[in-house]
């Protein structure tokens, strides 16, 4: 089907004054716009019934397949308001590609790129007034798809529902700290070879929550997972990729290989760093080496990255039998420079030689 979306206006949208109040401090993931996008898929009809409609509850049969077998995937990206009045997305084609790859891994139908991007554009155009004007504000977009067939057999479903939600966003981390603290998970792993680590599916995040809760109990902001085979190699946080900056100016990040999500922010930072002449290596990095390098001063910065938090410095690392500080415990020069460059491109403040910024509206 084409990327043409029907439109059903919300009969009682949030009043302008109330919307303005909400956008003064939107936080992350708690406020939603008036509308949502929806497309259906079935074996018989393929993709059909694309529309923008009022955001509201879904009615699901108790036997809906996703509730039993977790056939579900999602994405995350942001819309930005540019200085010239245009609206922009950052590398949405990469989100579309990863959404298709996640669908392949989860035995789900692949959503065409034009439908993926078209659904987001249509929703943002409908709810453009919800983009915050506060510094660093954006409209976070959550495309997701799940098995909607009413059936209890263990097989790929014959029906799916794809939706997009929009949520005004401010700061991701509530603490306001200049650098986050990390808890090393020793009892849980995020993904294993042959598993779903490279797919953006809800089950990966559900499996990380018990470890994240442990991190919070230990006074940390986030959890870091080690590999499943040796429990030695650093992989990623519950929802972000990691980078390590050394005193010679070089950077290391764990390599992709099926157990780490191929982050779009990760890929963007790799390219920006290499263009600036920084030596970047994608190679395994052991937890013992992380501690030794931090203590010796060889490691001067660590940062995490992802769509929601963009770039976040890591200041302290804790575990059952270890605790160490990275550099001065706050943001480092390389971290801040890469973040500034990336966010300036995303918001149209500097030249975009890669064509990453997708302008519309």
Pairing of strands 46-54, 72-74: unpaired
> What pLDDT is attached to residue 115?
98
Q: Known catalytic residue: 200?
A: yes
Q: What is the dihedral of CA 27, 28, 31, 37, to 10 degrees?
A: 150
pLDDT in tens, the chain (361 residues): 667 899 999 999 999 999 999 999 999 999 999 999 999 999 999 999 999 999 999 999 999 999 999 999 999 999 999 988 899 999 999 999 999 999 999 999 999 999 999 999 999 999 999 999 898 899 999 999 999 999 999 999 999 999 999 999 986 655 555 899 999 999 999 999 999 999 999 999 999 999 999 999 999 999 999 999 999 999 999 889 999 999 999 999 999 999 999 999 999 999 999 999 999 999 999 999 999 999 999 999 999 999 988 999 999 999 999 999 999 999 999 999 999 999 999 999 999 999 999 999 7
Identify the CA nearest to 341 among candidates 274, 279, 281.
274
Query: Rounded to an integer, what distance in angstroms lies between the CA atom of residue 75 and that of residue 73?
Result: 7
> What pLDDT is attached to residue 71?
98
Collapsed DSSP state (helix, strand, coil) of residue 321: coil
Identify the CA nearest to 147 among candidates 86, 202, 94, 195.
202
Residue tagged active-site, from 78, 200, 339, 341: 200
Identify the CA nearest to 224 among candidates 99, 75, 342, 324.
324
Helix axes 92-105, 113-126, angle to 10 degrees: 130
Query: Rounded to an integer, what distance in angstroms lies between the CA atom of residue 230 and that of residue 253?
Result: 18
Residues sharing a CB contact under 8 Å with residue 336, sequence separation 6 or more, in sequence order: 313
Q: How many Cβ atoms are within 10 Å of 184's Cβ, its own excluded?
A: 23
> What pLDDT is attached to residue 163?
98
DSSP for 272-294? HHHHTT--EEE---BHHHHHHHH
Residues sharing a CB contact under 8 Å with residue 85, sequence separation 6 or more, in sequence order: none
> What pLDDT is attached to residue 259?
94
> What pLDDT is attached to residue 361?
76
DSSP for 206-255? HHHHHHHHHHHHTT-SEEEEEPTTTS-BEEEESS-EEEEEETTS-EEEPP
DSSP for 78-132? EEEE-TTS-EEEESHHHHHHHHHHHHHHTT-PPPPHHHHHHHHHHHHHHTGGGS-
Alpha carbon of 99 to those of 35, 122, 137, 246: distances in Å? Answer: 22, 18, 25, 34
> What pLDDT is attached to residue 136?
86
Alpha carbon of 41 to those of 147, 163, 300: distances in Å? Answer: 10, 11, 49
b/e 142-164 (16+ beta carbons within 10 angstroms → b):
bbbbbbbbebeeeeebbbbbbbb
> What pLDDT is attached to residue 1?
65
Start-to-end Cα distance in the chain? 22
């Amino acid at each position: 089907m084409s990327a043409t979306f029907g439109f059903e206006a919300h009969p009682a949208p949030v009043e302008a004054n109330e919307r303005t109040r909400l956008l003064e401090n939107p936080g992350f993931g708690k406020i939603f716009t008036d509308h949502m996008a929806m497309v259906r898929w079935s074996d018989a009809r393929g993709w059909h019934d694309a529309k923008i409609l009022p955001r509201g509850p879904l009615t699901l049969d108790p036997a809906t397949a996703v509730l039993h077998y977790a056939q579900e995937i999602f994405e995350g990206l942001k819309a930005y308001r540019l200085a010239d009045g245009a609206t922009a997305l950052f590398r949405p084609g990469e989100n579309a590609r990863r959404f298709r790859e996640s669908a392949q891994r989860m035995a789900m139908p692949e959503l065409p790129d034009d439908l993926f991007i078209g659904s987001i554009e249509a929703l943002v155009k409908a709810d453009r007034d919800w983009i915050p004007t506060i510094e660093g504000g954006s409209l976070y977009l959550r495309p997701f798809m799940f098995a909607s067939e009413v059936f209890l057999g263990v097989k790929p479903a014959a029906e799916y529902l794809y939706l997009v939600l929009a949520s005004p966003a401010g700061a991701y981390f509530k603490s306001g700290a200049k650098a986050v603290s990390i808890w090393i998970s020793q009892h849980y792993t995020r993904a294993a070879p042959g598993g779903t680590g490279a797919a953006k599916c809800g089950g990966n995040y559900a499996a990380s929550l018990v470890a994240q809760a442990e991190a919070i109990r230990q006074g940390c902001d986030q959890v870091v997972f080690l590999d499943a085979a040796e429990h030695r190699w650093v992989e990623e946080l519950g929802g972000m990729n990691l980078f390590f900056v050394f005193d010679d100016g070089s950077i290391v990040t764990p390599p992709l290989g099926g157990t780490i999500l191929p982050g779009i922010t990760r890929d963007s930072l790799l390219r920006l760093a290499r263009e600036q002449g920084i030596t970047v290596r994608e190679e395994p990095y052991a937890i013992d080496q992380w501690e030794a390098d931090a203590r010796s001063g060889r490691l001067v910065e660590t940062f995490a990255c992802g769509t929601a938090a963009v770039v976040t410095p890591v200041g302290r690392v804790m575990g059952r039998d270890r605790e160490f500080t990275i550099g001065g415990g706050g943001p480092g020069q390389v971290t801040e420079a890469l973040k500034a460059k990336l966010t300036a491109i995303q918001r149209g403040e500097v030249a975009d030689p890669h064509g990453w910024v997708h302008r519309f509206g």
